[in-house]
Structure formats: C-alpha cells, structure tokens
Amino acid sequence: MSISTGSSAKPDKQVAGSPLASPHAAPGEDILAASDSSQQGLSREEASARLEQYGQNALTPPRKEGPLLRLLRQFHQPLIYILLASALVTALLQKWVDASVILGVVLVNTLIGFIQEAKALQAIEALVRDMTTTATVVRDGERSEIPAHELVPGDIVLLQSGDRVPADLRLLRSRDLQIDESALTGESVPVEKDDGIVEADTVLADRRNMAYSTTLVTHGTGMGVVTGTGDNTELGRISELISSAEVLATPLTRKINRFSHLLLYVILAMAAVTFLVGTLRGESWFNMFMASVALAVGTIPEGLPAVVTITLAIGVGRMARRNAIIHHLPAVETLGSTTVICSDKTGTLTQNQMTVQQLLAGGERFQASGLGYNPDGAILRGGNPVSIASHPALQELLLAGALCNDSQLKKGADGWYIEGDPTEGALLVAACKAGLDLKQLQMEWPRLDAIPFESKYQYMATLHDRGPAQKRRVYIKGSVESLLPRCMTALNAAGEPEELEWGPIEDHVQEMVTEGLRVLAFARIDFPAEIDAICHENIETGLVFLGLQGMIDPPRPEAITAVHACLAAGIHVKMITGDHPGTAAAIASQIGLDGAGQKPDTVPVINGAALEKLSGQELIDIAADTVVFARVAP
C-alpha cells in the first residue's frame, strides 16, 4: 500500500504512476483501491491502526529556540566578540572601570535585542488561535463525527456547505459543490467541483476533483477519500518549504560584518606596529603592551552595536504601531533596502469581498460605487447617482439578484459580512445600494419553490408569489451562455419587453470580461397563479432577458496608495497569485502596478504552467519585465 502519511511518521515514497502519486489524474475507484478503502469507509480498528502508524492529521510545529539560546545568539556578532575580548584584556590588566564600561555596553545591547525579540515572539504566538475542528466521516458503513486530527489516509469524508475541508481529498461524489480556495490558491470566487478526471500536469488551482485542507465549502455537498494528512497535505508542503527556506543575512548585517572584520584587522595591525616600534626604540615591552592594548580598546567603537540596536528597536516599535510584526531586529532595516516587492493578490492587494461594479439594464450601462460588503454606496450613470424608480429595467435587474439568492447580508462587530456565497452576497449589496430593503422584499415576494444551482445547467431559479390574482414570477440567474439562448425578449429602458438582440449584449459581456469582471446574466418568466412548483422544463425557453451584473474582488484603497508610494520610491511591485490571468491583469491595471498599462490586456502576464518550463536564466530574465504571475501553484 502506498498512501500519504501524517505528521508523526515519515511518508512512504509513492511509486511514480501509482494512483496516489497524482490522485486528480486517476479514477476514484483506483484511489480507493490504492488506499485499501471503500465507500463504506475504514473499519474503526483499521483507522486506529493507521492513526498509530501515520500519526495525527496535524502540521509538525516548527522548532522553537529556548530563551537561553535566544539570549546567547545576541552575542553572536563580530563587534560583540571584539568588545568581549577587550573587556577580558582590560580586566586582566586590572583596568576595572574600563572593563565594567565595556561589559555594560555589551549587556545593554544584548538585553535590548533579547527583550525586543521576545516581544515579537509573543505577538506572533498571540496570532495563532487554537481551533478544534471536526470531520464527518464514514467508518464501518456508519456516519459519525470525529476530531479532524484523527483522520487518516483512506478515510471517507462527507462535506456540506459551511464545512472546512479537514484534509486533502479526492472527490468521489459531488452535488453542486463549490469550495472557496482563496487562502490556498488566490482564486477570488468559489470553485465548482466535480468527481471527474483531469490531466496529471493540471495546476493545483484547476484540479476540480480535489478538495484541499483548510479550504471552505460554500455550497453543495460532496464525498471524498483522504489522500493526504498533516505534513502531506498541500498546506503541509507549503509549511515545509517555509521552514526549510534559507535564512539570508540582511544588507545591514552584511555591511557590519565586513566593517567589523576590517576594523579587527586594522586594530590588530596598529597595535602590533605600535608595540614593535616602541620596543625597537628601547621602551619596555610591558609598557608598550599596555599602550597597544589601550590603543586597541580606544579604537573599538563600543557604542556602535548599542546605537545600531537601539535604532533598529525604535524602527521595530514604529512598525508594531502599524500592525507589522518584526521577528528579528535586523529585518526592519531590510525594508529600507528593498528594491522589489512580490505580493499576493486575494486579501492582500484586494479585499477578498466580491463587489458588483458594472450593470447592464435596458441597454444602458451603470456603475456601482462603494467597495466590499458595506452597502454604503449608490448606483451611478455617467458618474451621477440614479434612482431606480426612473429606471424600471435596472430595478427589475437588481430585484432579480436580490430574490434569486440563498445568501444573507449581516452586520457584526467587525463590520458587514456574508453568510453564504460571496457572489450572491455581492448581488445583495448592489440591491441595498439602490435603496431596496432586503427584508421587505422577502415579505412582499415570498419564495414558493426553487431550482438550486447545478454545474450541469449553470443557473439557479426561484418561484415567487406576487399576491392574489397576480401571475407568479420566476427569476433566474446564471452564466450568459446558459441563459441567453433561452431568452426571446429583453427589457428596454422603459421596462417593456422587446425583441432580443444578441450582438450588443455579447459586446457588453466581452468588455466586462476583458476588465476582469465575473459576469452573471438575469432573466424572468411569468406563470399562472396556480403554479406552485417549477422544474427545468419550465424555463427552457420564453425567458425575458433582464440584464447583466459584473463583479470583481476590488483592490484595497490603501493598497493602491501603498503601491504608488513604492513606485515613487523606486521599488518595483509584482503580483503573484493563483487566480486567473485576466482577473489578475485587471486588478494590476486598477492598482497601477509597475509596468501595468491603462488596459488589462496590456499588462505583462505569465502563468504558472509557462513558468515551470523556464530555465534558471530565462526565469531571471523574464521576472524583471513581468508584472503579474498568475495561476501559480502555492
């Protein structure tokens, strides 16, 4: 058996070409067979044996330096070595005051560095919160909940909306499953999953049949077999890469080391020359030795380490007030020597909150102001706020987005947030910006039935009651490709149905896509009042096209300011993300990254697949001119 292992044991080497070497490229049945498992799950005895063999489903914690080692490391500096040697010599010569002063400088320098580093470690540890998660598994054919750290390779895990994926899984079944992978891949919208097979060289962000540890299920249900736990998950591999990264000396420490060695040689040479010349002139060797030592001690800049440490400590304190934690003191100086900054996109340069930015209704284009899930904002046309009362087609479009929706917009202690799908959340926020009351809408338009979103159909539909003697209305939202062929008419600017013209709509869609927007189409159809349920056959044709809403995860205003400040200081800024090239280029253009053109299609972009084919020198050459690195594996 060749399976991925947990953090407490060394993993078995997987044979090249075996199903578990690339689980996304093999049928689910082969993965089960290679894992010695089945859809009935492992037996409890087998699960216990594997837990004993492979260890818990947890990342191996990094080794921590003890307080004594951290204290001793403060002395590991060339200038400190010179000062300690000087203190020893002056003490041997019974120059107690000089020895005490030198030792005092050393101790002050050491204590400042030790205390500052201890504060940084405490701040980092405060950011790590213990989270006890559970996983729903099938064992002995029975469904049960267990702590996530007890999962083992071969376990069958069940997923549903709201779950955090507890380990790396090869999906065996899925129903409308969508997973938010932004924390791992940078994908700004939830990814639709299925249980099919993809090519072995498919990049991680496009492996639709895999679910990865710590990602979040936003919609649907699924079942998968565990292919990796602990350090053998994709998250574990990232952790291992970080822990094995080479610790580089900062520019300041390199310069101080060079200066210290040069100073040491100069001081020793001067002392030797002084001793030799004095002795040749007839002075006693003892007096010349004392003079040489005095010269050496006097030449040593004993205040330099203390001044450097205090300066760096002040810088660390200022960074802490800006919510930036500096672990090692010299790292703060590195910021001043930076020439290139490589940044993630999702949640760093952007808000990780989908926002509707453009709307098409009645043949007219509108914009939505405001960012994120905060409903403060307005619907604009030509830069001026508009009233939906005077734009019935726009009102109908926003109404469709608010009603054909399973998510909720809520306000918490930390601000506004979405319960459910981020894309649906963006539609709710857009409706609020237009002045629609979501609770009032739900009471006035009660839902009678719904067709949930399915990957096969690429749309969702909801049936609503409009009151006595009124026709019942179905609102549909989905991809342009799935809805437009079903539409016969479209609302004009006055809100009246007229003949549908495909050309202008497709042109608008292409413009939005070029700008990196995710475009959703909306439609409606009315039915007699006695209709209480709907099915796919009811909405195959005869729909009224309502319009489009284009959304994107917008850039942070503070990120735009920071990028411009960097560029003004001569610092190049690059974006490295797992998101789609088009979306990444659009954000780069909006932020104004170094070399980014006014239009997204002029931004220099390279994807992860092309990167992997480059040699070392080719990578160096292309990295200088490329602004956006998209679809890059974590």
Q: Is residue 253 assigned to a domain?
A: yes
> Does residue 295 sit in the same domain as residue 237?
no
> Does residue 517 sit in the same domain as residue 566?
no
Can you give the residue range of the structural domain that contains 194?
Answer: 19-57+151-242
344 as an active site residue: the answer is yes
pLDDT at residue 3, rounded to an integer:
44
Asked if 306 and 105 count as a contact pair (C-beta separation under 8 A), the reply is yes
Last residue of a domain, one of 531, 552, 573: 552
What percentage of the chain has pLDDT greater than the value 70?
Answer: 88
The closest of 403, 440, 355 to 524, measured between CA atoms, is 403
> Does residue 388 sit in the same domain as residue 506?
yes
The CA distance from 289 to 201, in Å, is: 72
Residue 591 backbone dihedrals phi, psi, to 5 degrees: -75, -30
Section 156-182 average pLDDT: 91
What distance lies between CA 18 and its chain's CA centroid? 31
The CA distance from 34 to 5, in Å, is: 14
Bridge-based pairing state of the strands 543-552 and 355-361: antiparallel
pLDDT at position 553 over 80: yes
Give me the amino acid identity at 183: A
Q: Is residue 83 assigned to a domain?
A: yes
> Does residue 190 sit in the same domain as residue 317?
no
pLDDT at position 161 over 70: yes
Residue 439 backbone dihedrals phi, psi, to 5 degrees: -65, -40
> Does residue 52 sit in the same domain as residue 193?
yes
What percentage of the chain has pLDDT greater than the value 90?
Answer: 39
> Does residue 560 sit in the same domain as residue 606?
yes
Q: Is residue 14 assigned to a domain?
A: no
Q: Is residue 13 assigned to a domain?
A: no
pLDDT at residue 133, rounded to an integer:
78
- The residue among 480 and 599 whose pLDDT is bigger is 480
Q: Is residue 626 assigned to a domain?
A: yes
8 pLDDT tier (thresholds 50, 70, 90): very low
Count of domains in the chain?
4
Residue 267 backbone dihedrals phi, psi, to 5 degrees: -65, -45
132 pLDDT tier (thresholds 50, 70, 90): low
CATH number of the domain where residue 519 is located: 3.40.1110.10
Distances (CA, A) of 237 to 6, 60, 128, 168, 476: 12, 11, 19, 12, 42
pLDDT at residue 103, rounded to an integer:
80
DSSP letters, 92-152, are HTT-HHHHHHHHHHHHHHHHHHHHHHHHHHHHHHHH------EEEEEETTEEEEEEGGG--
DSSP letters, 220-281, are EEEEEEEEE-GGGSHHHHHHHHHHTS--PPPHHHHHHHHHHHHHHHHHHHHHHHHHHHHHHT
Q: Is residue 141 assigned to a domain?
A: no
- The residue among 429 and 292 whose pLDDT is bigger is 429
pLDDT at residue 506, rounded to an integer:
92
The CA distance from 546 to 360, in Å, is: 8
pLDDT at position 542 over 90: yes
302 pLDDT tier (thresholds 50, 70, 90): low
> Does residue 426 sit in the same domain as residue 518?
yes
3-state secondary structure of 568: helix
pLDDT at position 430 over 90: yes
Residue 104 backbone dihedrals phi, psi, to 5 degrees: -60, -45
> Does residue 411 sit in the same domain as residue 514?
yes
Strand locations in 397-542 (E)? 408-412, 415-419, 447-454, 459-464, 472-478, 487-491, 497-499, 518-527
The closest of 164, 157, 210 to 41, measured between CA atoms, is 157
pLDDT at residue 595, rounded to an integer:
62
Beta bridge partners of 116: none
pLDDT at position 17 over 60: no
CATH number of the domain where residue 171 is located: 2.70.150.10
> Of 244-253, 391-400, 415-424, 554-563, which has the strongest mean pLDDT?
391-400
623: which 2 tokens? 């990295």
368 pLDDT tier (thresholds 50, 70, 90): very high
Q: Is residue 53 assigned to a domain?
A: yes
The closest of 286, 162, 147 to 221, measured between CA atoms, is 162
pLDDT at position 6 over 80: no
The CA distance from 557 to 415, in Å, is: 17
* Count of helices and strands (H, E) across the chain: 20, 24
Q: What is the average pLDDT score of the chain?
A: 84
- Choosing from 12, 30, 195, 344, the catalytic residue is 344
Last residue of a domain, one of 212, 242, 272: 242
- The residue among 93 and 514 whose pLDDT is bigger is 514
pLDDT at residue 402, rounded to an integer:
96
> What confidence tens digit (pLDDT) does each residue in 73-113 have?
777 766 677 677 767 777 776 778 877 877 887 787 677 76
pLDDT at residue 464, rounded to an integer:
95
> Does residue 564 sit in the same domain as residue 534?
no
Q: If you ran DSSP here, which 8-state letter would residue 484 be given?
A: G
Last residue of a domain, one of 210, 242, 274: 242
Section 322-337 average pLDDT: 74
> Does residue 305 sit in the same domain as residue 434?
no
2 pLDDT tier (thresholds 50, 70, 90): very low
pLDDT at residue 440, rounded to an integer:
93
> Does residue 604 sit in the same domain as residue 501?
no
54: which 2 tokens? 């492979």
Section 130-152 average pLDDT: 85
Section 383-409 average pLDDT: 94
pLDDT at position 525 over 60: yes
Q: Is residue 231 assigned to a domain?
A: yes
The closest of 284, 241, 290, 303 to 633, measured between CA atoms, is 241
- The residue among 51 and 301 whose pLDDT is bigger is 51
Sequence-separated (6 or more) residues with CB below 8 Å from residue 246: none
Place of tokens 């041997």: 92
75: which 2 tokens? 């002395």
Section 521-531 average pLDDT: 93
CATH number of the domain where residue 573 is located: 3.40.50.1000
71: which 2 tokens? 């204290």
The CA distance from 11 to 568, in Å, is: 49
- The residue among 181 and 246 whose pLDDT is bigger is 181
Section 586-596 average pLDDT: 81
> Does residue 174 sit in the same domain as residue 295?
no
pTM above threshold 0.75: no
